[in-house]
């Protein structure tokens, strides 16, 4: 008997093109209906229902019912991180599925990876935090330092609730477009929300793009200087 989790079962769930399209459509952390996900996958509603049942039973999605509507979202940040890593491997070995379009530069610059900041801006933040001693470690174990606690507290982030949460406080997530790491975990989520709250950036509707204002971009760079 083989030891460890059955990765083949999870890989088979992700490996179907229709299911893969559904999962990627949920990478911004929002919930979508079965009808919306059928459109994303390019399949009928009946076929989509079968795929969604398999993804839910396999632990990759969770379903929420509100009235007559059933909504689906990724079942946690670890699922989003796994998809982001697979996107990096795929881009590295097979290349993009389509020719780069007008939105690609914006996605590479700043985007949502499940619930935290990714792209060039996210990688810049992670690498500065490492170099400045705000965080310490690597992709296997990442810790918030005392200096980092002071900086993020001064930024207006409440760290105590994050530290008592079951979710890891900070974690390295491989960025598919940059092939370097950005900051995930509870800290990454709270930091992106703080950026929104300060008015530095906003997430574009129906997109994973995080659009910084010119003033927000300058303020972000000044904060990291």
Q: Quick: pLDDT tens for 97-141.
A: 544 443 478 888 999 988 899 999 999 999 999 999 999 998 778
User: How large is the average pLDDT for residues 145-174?
Assistant: 90
Residue pair 136/194 in contact by the 8 Å Cβ criterion:
no
| The pLDDT of residue 145 | 95
Residue where the block lists tokens 């598919």: 176
Higher pLDDT among residues 49 and 67, named by residue: 49
pLDDT at residue 40 is higher than 90: no
Residue where the block lists tokens 């697979």: 86
Residues in the chain: 225
Task: Please name the helix (run of DSSP H) or strand (run of DSSP E) that holds residue 45, with its range, or none.
Answer: helix 45-57
Task: Name, of 53-67, 150-164, 191-205, the range with top average pLDDT.
Answer: 191-205
| The pLDDT of residue 110 | 95
Higher pLDDT among residues 6 and 97, named by residue: 6
Share of the chain above pLDDT 70, in %: 92
pLDDT at residue 48 is higher than 60: yes
| The pLDDT of residue 102 | 37
| The pLDDT of residue 89 | 75
CA 86 to chain centre: 12
Could you give the domains of the chain?
A: 7-75 (1.10.10.10), 79-224 (no CATH)
Phi, then psi, of 145 in degrees rounded to 5: -85, 170
Q: What is the distance between the alpha carbons of residues 14 and 127, in angstroms, rounded to a whole number?
A: 30
pLDDT at residue 94 is higher than 70: no
pLDDT at residue 176 is higher than 60: yes
| The pLDDT of residue 92 | 60
Task: Name, of 39-48, 123-132, 169-178, the range with top average pLDDT.
Answer: 123-132
User: How large is the average pLDDT for residues 10-20?
Assistant: 90
pLDDT at residue 9 is higher than 70: yes
Q: Quick: pLDDT tens for 80-90.
A: 888 877 877 77
């Amino acid at each position: 008997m083989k030891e460890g989790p059955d990765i083949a079962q999870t890989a088979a769930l992700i490996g179907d093109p229709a299911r893969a399209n559904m999962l990627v459509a949920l990478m911004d952390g929002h919930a979508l209906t079965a009808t919306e996900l059928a459109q994303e996958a390019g399949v009928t509603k009946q076929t989509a229902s079968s795929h969604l049942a398999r993804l839910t039973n396999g632990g990759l999605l969770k379903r929420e019912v509100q009235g007559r509507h059933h909504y689906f979202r990724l079942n946690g940040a670890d699922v989003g991180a796994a998809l982001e890593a697979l996107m990096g491997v795929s881009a590295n070995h097979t290349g993009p599925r389509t020719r780069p379009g007008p939105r690609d530069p914006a996605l590479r610059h700043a985007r949502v990876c499940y619930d935290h900041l990714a792209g060039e801006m996210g990688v810049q933040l992670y690498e500065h935090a490492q170099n400045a001693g705000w965080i310490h470690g690597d992709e296997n174990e990442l810790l918030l330092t005392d200096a980092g606690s002071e900086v993020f507290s001064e930024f207006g982030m409440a760290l105590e609730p994050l530290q008592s949460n079951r979710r890891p406080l900070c974690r390295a997530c491989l960025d598919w477009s940059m092939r370097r790491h950005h900051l995930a975990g509870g800290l990454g989520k709270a930091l992106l929300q703080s950026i929104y709250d300060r008015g530095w950036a906003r997430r574009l509707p129906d997109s994973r793009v995080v659009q910084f204002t010119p003033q927000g971009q300058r303020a972000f760079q000044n904060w990291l200087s």
